[in-house]
Amino acid sequence: MKETTMQSSRIRYSTDELRSWLTGRVAAQLGMSAEVIRPDVLLAEYGLDSVYALALSTDIEDHLALRLEPTVVWDHPTVDELAAFLLGELENAA
Amino acid sequence: MIAVLRSVYRRDPCLGLGYGLSSFIASVNVWTAASDEQCRTVAGLLLANRKIASVYHELDHGNDLARIECEARPVGDTWVLNGRKEVVTNLQRADALVIFARTDPKPGSRSHSQLFLDKSTVAPDRMRDLPRFPSTGMRGVQLGGVEFRDCAIPRDNVLGRPGHGIETALRSFQLTRTVLPAVMAGQVDTGLRTTVRHVLGRRLYGRPVAEVPYIRSVLVGAFVDLLTVECFTTVVARAIHLLPTETSVYASAVKHFGAKALMDAMNRLSMVLGAHFYLRRGGVAIFQKLLRDLQPVGFGHAARAACQTTILPQLPMLARRSWRTPEAAPDELFRLDADLPALPFDRLAVTAAGQDHLSGSLLAGLDAEGADHRAVSDLAERFAAELRVLADECAELPPGELGVAAGPRSADLATRYGLVLAASACLSVWRHNGDRDPFLGDPAWLLAALTRLSAQQRGEPADLPEHVERRLYAELMDRHEDVRGFDLTNRRVR
């Protein structure tokens, strides 16, 4: 039962929704407005430091019900790259 | 290894750091990330009594690894190194270096790597020693600097995958963050012995100083704090073997907690000694040296603040994934005589992913203990309640409170969590070792340890029950007379 709900929540995400959710999380973590954050700029440029990027990865895990490497945000360091990678992971999981 | 180094630190911390810990700090990067061949090379050096320096620090960036500037550019089959490193232990004396360098100009966490450099292979004009940095404490340890100018290092000398340097540091320094407070407890052991010897031979206000109640309390307090630090460091050191995926948090917590506990204990002992601790001659003179040499426990090799920034972002997931549904750690974690498996370097992880079985053991212990010992149970229940409060506060922490910009209330959460972990370590060591060591199974020290931790948590002075203080004072005097350590091993120290 639980698995079905998770599956349906996985399928629901479009690239745009995922991007805007990620942008919102990063903005909240950095205490800045989401409009400022461009999806093709390195998150580190906005001051997202190593350890906070690690915390973001578990937020993503909980939100999308995925298991990820803790370093996922280091390896996909912009909103665009991260969203693309996560969509791939969601498809694999579905 | 901790036991051996601790006995060196008990006598001379400079020797311990300069000829022991310093090469250890550099080597953990190697054991964690390097190839088998690189490991053999480094092991060969160390077995030949040569030194390796861990070359990370740049004055402008402190513990902010992601902004380290010293740069290694890939050119042909070499890395070409340019830049400066400052305030680095043994830099000049070492035979080889593990250099943390920027290998990619992009900002982020995949732009640095560790490079191994045998100094004998470097042309003298490529590497210039900077003047030594004089220091307040640990004066016997050389703090050096270096400037690299187009210094070529073979491409193969990178440790692990290029760009994965921050990951290697976060994983491997879990060992060193644990070992540092564990061995520096040796200095406080000597500090306490020196103070006891002094007060036993001195009369003030018409009685031996040792009989002044306040003095007794301070001595017993320092003894208990030493035992507490040792319980916590020992359990975390064992966790690196047994629960390696969780130690990212524990190692930072034990450094953060242990450093402060040791410095506070030493400072309180200095007040017992009064003017005598300030003297540089006579039987007490060693104290002022040990006090100076202890300061690096707070800032050296990952400052307490840096430890806090490792813990803080992990609190919400710990709260959500572990604290609300606690699970106990395996018993071997706490049984001091239980064999340990080899250290699984490949399983050390950059985060604990929300897993915490150490605080889980606090709650499990409560079920098992029941009403056996009312006072212990009450105190343990207090920490269990504190963990539930922490779970509620941390689970919903806004993301803005997890970063460098966190307010003092959030920063305090890491401290409060450290107290809970320390309490759980003490409780579990007590529960699992009484059959081996009657003193460890006696609730007196545990009651004292939990009372002191709980007082810190509430910001109140710690007031030990009279019979507990008497029991521990007698133990302290026995150990002093027999020249046994004020630690868990309780062995003769000379």
Which chain B residue lies closest to A74 (C-alpha atoms)?
B109
pLDDT band per the 50, 70, 90 thresholds, residue B365: low
The burial class, CB within 10 Å (0-12 / 13-18 / 19+), for B125 is: exposed
SS3 B131: coil
Rounded to a whole number of angstroms, the distance from the CA of B171 to the nearest CA of chain A is 12
Strand B96-102 relative to strand B52-55, pairing: parallel
Chain A positions with Cβ closer than 8 Å to B: 25, 28-31, 42-45, 49-55, 57-59, 62, 70-71, 74-75, 77
CA dihedral B210, B211, B212, B216 (to 10 degrees): 60
Instruction: Retrieve residue B276's tokens.
Output: 């005598």
Q: Of B191-200, B251-260, B390-399, which range is least confident? A: B390-399
pLDDT higher than 50, residue A5? no
pLDDT tens, residue by residue, B178-237? 999 999 999 999 999 999 999 998 888 888 888 888 999 999 999 999 999 999 999 999
Nearest CB among A29, A62, A77 relative to B399 is that of: A29
> How high is the pLDDT of residue B136?
82
Check CB contact under 8 Å for B402 and A28: no
pLDDT higher than 80, residue B403? no
pLDDT tens, residue by residue, B38-84? 999 999 999 999 999 999 999 888 888 888 899 999 999 999 999 99
Nearest CB among A28, A42, A71 relative to B167 is that of: A71
Check CB contact under 8 Å for A50 and B166: yes
Q: Cβ distance B425 to B239 under 8 Å?
A: no
Rounded to a whole number of angstroms, the distance from the CA of B245 to the nearest CA of chain A is 12
pLDDT tens, residue by residue, B98-151? 999 999 999 999 999 999 999 999 988 999 999 988 888 888 888 889 999 999
Rounded to a whole number of angstroms, the distance from the CA of A9 to the nearest CA of chain B is 20
Long-range contacts of A83-92 (CB under 8 A, 24+ apart): A83/A15, A83/A18, A83/A19, A83/A22, A83/A39, A84/A15, A86/A18, A86/A60, A87/A13, A87/A15, A87/A18, A89/A64, A90/A10, A90/A11, A90/A13, A90/A64, A90/A66
Share of chain B above pLDDT 90, in %: 65
Residues from chain A contacting residue B108 (CB–CB below 8 Å): 42-44, 74, 77
- Count how many pairs of residues, chain A against chain B, have C-beta atoms within 8 Å: 75
Instruction: Retrieve residue B123's tokens.
Output: 């042309």
pLDDT band per the 50, 70, 90 thresholds, residue B408: confident
Instruction: Retrieve residue B426's tokens.
Output: 């003490």
Residues from chain B contacting residue A69 (CB–CB below 8 Å): none
Task: Give how far the C-alpha of residue B324 lies from the chain's centroid of Cα atoms, to the nearest Å.
Answer: 27
Residue of A37, A50, A60, A62 for testing the chain B interface, max B β-carbons within 10 Å: A50
pLDDT band per the 50, 70, 90 thresholds, residue B367: low
Sign of CA dihedral A57, A58, A61, A67: positive
**CB atoms near residue B443 (< 10 Å):** 16
Q: Hey, which residues does B129 pair with through a beta bridge?
A: B146
Average pLDDT of every residue of chain B? 91
Residues from chain A contacting residue B399 (CB–CB below 8 Å): 25, 28-29, 55, 59
Q: CA B472 to CA B467: how far, in whole Å?
A: 9
> How high is the pLDDT of residue B218?
96
> How high is the pLDDT of residue B371?
40
Q: What share of chain B is helix, strand, coil (3-state, %, to 5)?
A: 60, 10, 25
> How high is the pLDDT of residue B282?
79
Which chain A residue lies closest to B168 (C-alpha atoms)?
A71
Instruction: Retrieve residue B26's tokens.
Output: 């550099």
pLDDT band per the 50, 70, 90 thresholds, residue B335: very high
Task: Give how far the C-alpha of residue B208 lies from the chain's centroid of Cα atoms, to the nearest Å.
Answer: 36
Q: CA B107 to CA B99: how far, in whole Å?
A: 19
> How high is the pLDDT of residue A75?
96
Report DSSP state, residue B60.
T
pLDDT tens, residue by residue, B269-297? 999 988 777 777 778 888 888 898 888 88
**How far are the Cα atoms of B198, B202, B217, B291, B393 from residue B276, in angstroms, in the given order?**
9, 12, 19, 13, 46
pLDDT tens, residue by residue, A45-83? 998 888 888 888 988 998 999 999 999 999 999 999 999
Q: Cβ distance B271 to B373 under 8 Å?
A: no
- Per-residue DSSP letters for B153-166? EEGGGEESSTTBHH
Check CB contact under 8 Å for B405 and A51: no
> How high is the pLDDT of residue B385?
94
Report DSSP state, residue B216.
H
